[in-house]
C-alpha cells in the first residue's frame, strides 16, 4: 500500500504497514532498530501514540475520518507520549523528518491507496 498527499501530488510512502488490532497497535514499531526512509506505519483507530522503548525519533501525522491531516508531531524522541488529539481516527508514523521532506501540512488530504 502507498500514501499520497493529494494537495501536492507527493508520494509519502510506498511501503505502508497497517496495525488495526490492539496488540499490533500497542507494539507498533517497538523492537525495530531502524525506520527505513520510504516506510510508514498506519495505526487505526488511534488518537494518541507513545514512543516508549523505541530507539529512534519519528514523525506522527494525525488524520481524521476523511484522511485529512489535523495534527503533526515532528521528530518525537523515544520515551514520549503524544497528546490525545480530538477527532483523530488514525495516526501515520513516518521516519523523522519525512513530514518536512514531503511538505505535509495541517489540512492536507492524504490518499491511502489499497486501504480497506
User: What CATH number does the domain containing 60 carry?
Assistant: 2.60.120.1140
pLDDT for position 28? 74
Could you tell me the residue range of the domain that residue 7 belongs to? 2-113
Give the pLDDT of the chain (116 residues) as one tens digit per residue: 999 999 999 999 999 999 888 877 877 777 778 888 989 999 999 999 999 999 999 999 999 999 999 999 999 999 999 999 999 999 999 999 999 999 999 999 999 998 76
What is the CB neighbour count within 10 angstroms for residue 36?
Answer: 8
Cα–Cα distance for residue pair 90/97, rounded to 1 Å:
19
Please count the other Cβ atoms lying within 10 Å of the Cβ belonging to residue 43: 26
d(CA 84, CA 52): 16
C-alpha cell of residue 14: 510506498
Residue (of 96, 73, 95, 68) closest to 84 by Cα position: 73
* pTM of full prediction above 0.75: yes
Sort strands 39-43 and 90-95 into parallel, antiparallel or unpaired.
Answer: antiparallel
Number of independent structural domains in the chain: 1
pLDDT at residue number 116: 67
Amino acid at each position: 500500500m502507498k500514501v499520497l498527499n493529494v494537495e501536492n501530488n507527493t508520494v509519502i510512502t510506498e511501503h505502508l504497514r497497517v496495525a488495526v488490532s490492539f496488540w499490533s497497535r500497542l507494539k507498533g514499531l517497538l523492537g525495530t532498530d531502524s525506520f527505513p526512509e520510504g516506510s510508514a506505519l498506519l495505526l487505526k483507530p488511534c488518537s494518541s501514540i507513545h514512543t516508549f522503548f523505541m530507539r529512534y525519533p519519528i514523525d506522527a501525522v494525525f488524520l481524521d475520518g476523511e484522511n485529512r491531516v489535523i495534527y503533526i508531531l515532528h521528530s518525537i524522541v523515544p520515551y514520549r507520549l503524544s497528546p490525545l488529539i480530538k477527532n483523530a481516527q488514525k495516526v501515520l508514523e513516518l521516519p523523522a523528518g519525512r513530514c518536512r521532506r514531503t511538505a505535509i501540512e495541517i489540512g492536507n488530504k492524504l490518499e491511502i491507496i489499497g486501504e480497506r
